[in-house]
A and B are shown apart, each in its own frame.
Chain A
Amino acid sequence: MSEFRRQHPIAAVTQLFVVIRQNIVPFIIFVVLGSRNSGEYFWLIVLLGIIVTFVLGVVGWFRFTFRVREDELQINKGIFVRKKLYLSKDRIQVIDITEGLIQRMFGLVKVEIKTAGGGTEKATISAITRSDAVQLRTLLREKEVQRPAESESLTEISGELENTVVSNESNKIWVLSNRDLFYAALTSGNFGVIASILGALSGQLDQFITEENMDYIFGLLPGFSQLTVILWSILFILLISYLLSFIGVILRYGDFKIEKKEKELQITSGLLERKQLTVPFDRVQAFRFVEGVLRQPFGYGMLYVESAGFEQKENDRSIVVLPFVKRAKLSSFLEEFMDEAPDESTCIVPPKRSLFRYIRQPNYLLLIVIPVLWIFFDWAWMLSALVIPFSLFGWLEYKDAKIEVAENTVLMQFRNLARTTAIVKINRAQVSEISMNPFQRRKHLATVSITAASGAGGKSFTVDDLDANDAERLLKWPIARAS
């Protein structure tokens, strides 16, 4: 691999497929619904787009050459702007080998090489044979092991030694069982996202909802009033989004596997597209356990890891480590796979005097929404019955709010709709903050938030209305722990 070489020719086409896949949904919508003013021009534009993407892909493939030489991965690429990307071995944090859908058809893989740091460089080789990829990985990893001998600082060496001791006893594997996958899909209920997509879609439906069409439908379905049609279509949208969410989870987390390696956790998942993610232990900032509304009653939730550096995109910042796991098993997992031994901890909960604040908080929404709705609908006042579930929800929020402080971690539990339990490693807490509004000040209460780094940004965890003195102790705690 010391000479410059190209990727497998399939790399030229993968870009085209990616573009097509990203645009398939709007495309279908456009073809099905927007037939009125499309015509020949539309197809011409589509054809032109495909040709241009294809040509760019081929040229991009031709220009893309890479080799490994002298502790460096060297990549030359760029169509208009030539780019030389040289990554030195000891800066490389993560090497991910992924089988995309297209790559899979040709027995190829995609290799992503990531370095850490604010700028976050990522080199992607989008199609090479698996054996080449493995060879590349060993080449890039190779010297790293020998390195401690010639390393500059003593502390680093001792760190390496500790790690090798750990590695001897473990190459543990965790697999998501099919039954758990099924339950995870059943309870995923990722309605929000999908409903919003369908909502955007329904904007296109306007042209169908005309007086005539509606009359026709009402004629077809005796006994249907306008209201029932609306209710049915809402139900229909919910059902569809539930189904899509179900399928989405199955495809995404099918065949899910975690493998614990020397310094990192390797996560492989996906039915159609096998994705591999690497989480180096020394970049883990915090854990986040989210118990969705449908999952919490059964004691299940999803575990994320916040890790620093790699991804700029909001969605990709948190890494799913366990798609579906019992809360009770969480601490044993963290201990086994993440080397997070549970510590003795002191628990801080909001004082009794903040209960009323918790209870009335969700109701503020009603205070705004009901009067506005009342202008349009006579029956809007009936919504005030929602005070009861809303207050109950506030009470739940109060019950769930807690902070546990241990030697090296802080656990923050709070509820938005889903219940979130965040475990922040104390020497990774970036910022701690308390805030008090005048009402809180009167009752000597304060809101605490702790921010951990996540991706190229941060993730804040907030617990409301703690006793102000407790809050202040928590505020100063990361500093007190700082060496």
Chain B
Amino acid sequence: MNEPELTVQKSLTEPASRINQNAIKAWRLSALLFGSFVYVIPGLLYLIFTLDGDMSMLYPIISAPSAVIIHCFFIFVLPKIRWKRWKYEVDDKGIDMQRGIIITKRTMVPINRIQHVDTRQGPIYRKYGLSSISLSTAATTHEIPALDENTASELREIISDLVRKVKEDV
């Protein structure tokens, strides 16, 4: 670890903007709803237990609280970390996105590669006045989640304006 090249390391830059803080609430709500699948396993185990007397009661007893713990983790911990890690930046050259809880990913899409921009809003996002933006290139699609509605539609306008200005073929 004492190679000389380590000394010249600069810390990496980061995109400037954060997504809306309401994202945490929205993600919590959706984790509350969609995270309930964690109860399937203890449920099944309990079912097997009641049908088949051979199995020990131990399995459902252990798995039920761990399902609760996992669900709580999905609801209370994960959305907050996810929000903290999500950063983005839009300028006249490109869109810069950084996210990821364990593995950090940073993606850059040059503005002249963007083919179209959408904003999307599901029922949960609508409740919190949020909206997500998705960017499509000829190869891939990217999404910036949970911006507040106004920022999202503003951004959509800005990006599609920029795209129109610099558009080349493919």
Contacts and interface: CB of A to CB of B under 8 A. Distances in A.
Contact of A472 (B12, B107, B111, B138): B12
A104 to B, nearest CB: 35
Interface in B14-41: none
B93 A482 contact: yes
B65 interface: no
Interface stretch (A37-45, A182-190, A334-342, A437-445): A437-445
Interface in A457-482: 457-459, 467-469, 472, 475-476, 478-482
A434 interface: yes
Nearest to B112: A482
Interface in B87-108: 93-94, 96, 100, 102-108
A429 B110 contact: yes
Contact of A482 (B1, B9, B94, B103): B94
B105 A469 contact: no
A467 B107 CA distance: 17
Contacts of B62: none
A479 B3 contact: no
Interface string A74-112: 000000000000000000000000000000000000000
Contacts of A453: 137-139, 170
Contacts of A483: 112, 166
B6 interface: yes
A482 to B, nearest CB: 4
A481 B103 CA distance: 27
Contact of B113 (A283, A431, A457, A472): A431
A282 B169 contact: yes
Contacts of B111: 482
A435 B100 contact: yes
A458 B140 contact: yes
Contacts of A478: 94, 108, 110
Given A429-B110, A432-B107, A451 B140 contact: yes
Contacts of A435: 100, 103-106
A431 B137 contact: yes
Given A353-B3, A431-B140, A469 B12 contact: yes
B54 interface: no
A441 B11 CA distance: 11
Interface of A: 116, 118, 282-283, 285, 308-309, 351-353, 427-438, 441, 444, 451-454, 457-459, 467-469, 472, 475-476, 478-483
Given A282-B169, A353-B3, A438-B103, 16 more contacts: A285-B170, A353-B5, A429-B110, A430-B138, A431-B108, A459-B139, A467-B5, A468-B9, A469-B9, A475-B106, A475-B108, A478-B94, A478-B108, A479-B94, A482-B94, A482-B113
Interface of B: 1, 3, 5-6, 9-10, 12-13, 93-94, 96, 100, 102-113, 115, 137-140, 142, 166, 168-170
